[in-house]
Structure 1
């Protein structure tokens, strides 16, 4: 029997009466952290409050496949074709520095060009760009904006906790579960804490060998989905630098990415997993992994990376000037759930503050060529 996919309706999202107030508090904390990071971050520049360290900006091409089943051929995926793209690979931490100090959480932020239709960002509706901001885990460790307030504070101050050894780690874990003492015992953040522990045990890997999820649910035209970007099996099999040891050098992720892309092209599959059961595949609970047995992920596009040289310092500078947000999408791909909804204004204000402090123009590129030169034919 064919799966019955849940239709999108606005009432699948919870209404949090304190949402606006809590988001404003998150924004204020984020802006303070970014301002302080100019001196405290060790780079002399304002850092992102998450995914602060980038590993490289890469040119790519997204081919939206022809002949998709109608449930998957939704929104931008209803029109087969090829789009230039830029990809930012990054560490998930809000801190910079040696890779060994930052953990194994990594991100893949994708920007596609020449996508028709207005975006959901009111201050830049007609950019023609479409973003994904994905992480290397199928779950996330925060379910509400109220909880994000204390989880964000813990993560921004994590080095201070863990520099104190086991006592500091114990205090970090205790304050995570108890909401820094604000939660009743019956409401301790166990689900979120266990999700955090699961993600923290992700082994370090070459960023080309990781899979990357949208973190929360998104609209997929008439349906509800999660989107992941997963290595193409034949490309993954060709990767030489498979074992990444962050303790072996200050920089390990970027050199491995540079070397692989200089030697061979690479490809990912962009896949959509449609929701079939809101109880077992929830929108508001990001700590729950959607079972593939209920609804397998289906490839809707190929993300191809040509051979290229990203080794220059100008690559890092160009990467630093870009912004990515899960809300730079068309209405048919709207992020869903309160945590995803909070990212809209938090990401926007974070980008504004960072660009202002770094004295960078905050303009969305109209093409990949505006940012990176096309790869040479000889490559």
Structure 2
């Protein structure tokens, strides 16, 4: 075992004694929002409570590279090979509507097929699929399920805050830092608020030009890691529609994605950053960016996207019916930390309710061929 990398042990996570109680409250709020979204979001259907608006469902292929150093050739990356894949590009907001209303936070959800071994989802262990649900930033704005209780409210109510102009913005900021008045002053959420401000200043670019990180840490076999999808440099250089003027039209991200993939293929590098210092690369504090000078990202696979037509409305319908969760993985890649652990049941319950309300069959595909030509 390499001496520079921190080995995974169960004690790298710190248990929160109020976790289960707070989680049930989060699930209740999430389910209420999803049920109400059928009318409130104006789409006539229930939407996700995050990443509600998708920009396209895309066919891909993951090539796991050979010749990797042993500490990176872990879990699903231990054996070279090619796997079919599906990709969902999305906006990070819990709301639907015009792009100008939603901001610059975006996501790349990846579903890889034909992966051996049971998943960590007890109700669907044998799907042979493996998911990532990544965001276009190396940090996140919430560290505990307790804080997520008020942060979730803030984001669901954000349009009402910002509709008031500067006074509403100031009230949003105050309520964020103070936990809507619930936090003692020494416990104000400054780190999370500063992470939110950083995320709010992300450049508005074509979704193909962003890098996408796991929101928190994950197991990487014997080690602890974060995983990033970084644009292949040659592919990124070829992109024509680069900066997005979100005020120019109600829809800007999807048309740019449709046009680019209709003209040329694309590729991302799937990269792993192994933890070398639990103080400076913490598991429980997702507001901290892991320094690359302590541990660089190493490419372990290529995500190749062929040239394709995703312009049809049926593409959006098929995308909407899919489910992605960071817990549809094998045990060697388990999400780590309390916030990542909360996502397991929140995502599952959210998906079950959304599919029920939309009268959609909730079933994992066995290949991209089931959905895309």
In the aligned structure 2, how far is the partner of 1:205 from the partner of 1:339?
28
What is the TM-score normalised by the length of structure 1?
Answer: 0.98
Deviations 1:267-323 (A, max 9, x none): 000000000000000000000000000000000000000000000000000000000
Report the equivalent of 2:221: 221
Deviations 1:25-48 (A, max 9, x none): 000000000000000001111000
1:331 CA drift (Å): 0.0
In the aligned structure 2, how far is the partner of 1:243 from the partner of 1:40?
30
**Are 2:247 and 1:247 equivalent residues in the alignment?**
yes
In the aligned structure 2, how far is the partner of 1:76 from the partner of 1:234?
26
Deviations 1:241-284 (A, max 9, x none): 11211001100000000000000000000000000000000000
1:203 CA drift (Å): 1.0
In the aligned structure 2, how far is the partner of 1:291 from the partner of 1:113?
32
1:172 CA drift (Å): 0.6
**Are 2:310 and 1:310 equivalent residues in the alignment?**
yes
**Are 2:196 and 1:196 equivalent residues in the alignment?**
yes
In the aligned structure 1, how far is the partner of 2:114 from the partner of 2:323?
17
Report the equivalent of 1:237: 237
SS, match of residue 226 in structure 2? strand
Report the equivalent of 2:283: 283
In the aligned structure 1, how far is the partner of 2:38 from the partner of 2:19?
29
**Structure 2: which 5+ residue stretches go unaligned?**
none
1:371 CA drift (Å): 1.3
**Are 2:144 and 1:144 equivalent residues in the alignment?**
yes
**Are 2:356 and 1:352 equivalent residues in the alignment?**
no
SS, match of residue 273 in structure 1? strand
The 5 Å alignment of 1:173-184 reads: 173-184=173-184
Number of residue-to-residue matches in the alignment: 372
**Structure 1: which 5+ residue stretches go unaligned?**
374-379
Report the equivalent of 2:155: 155
SS, match of residue 247 in structure 2? helix
Deviations 1:171-196 (A, max 9, x none): 11100000010100000000000000
In the aligned structure 1, how far is the partner of 2:13 from the partner of 2:349?
23
1:120 CA drift (Å): 0.1
Report the equivalent of 2:83: 83
SS, match of residue 319 in structure 1? helix
Report the equivalent of 1:321: 321
1:3 CA drift (Å): 6.6
In the aligned structure 2, how far is the partner of 1:12 from the partner of 1:222?
13
Deviations 1:27-77 (A, max 9, x none): 000000000000000111100000000000000000000000000000000
In the aligned structure 1, how far is the partner of 2:165 from the partner of 2:60?
42
Dislocated runs of 4+, deviation >3 Å: none
In the aligned structure 1, how far is the partner of 2:79 from the partner of 2:340?
26
What is the TM-score normalised by the length of structure 2?
Answer: 0.99
In the aligned structure 2, how far is the partner of 1:326 from the partner of 1:217?
11
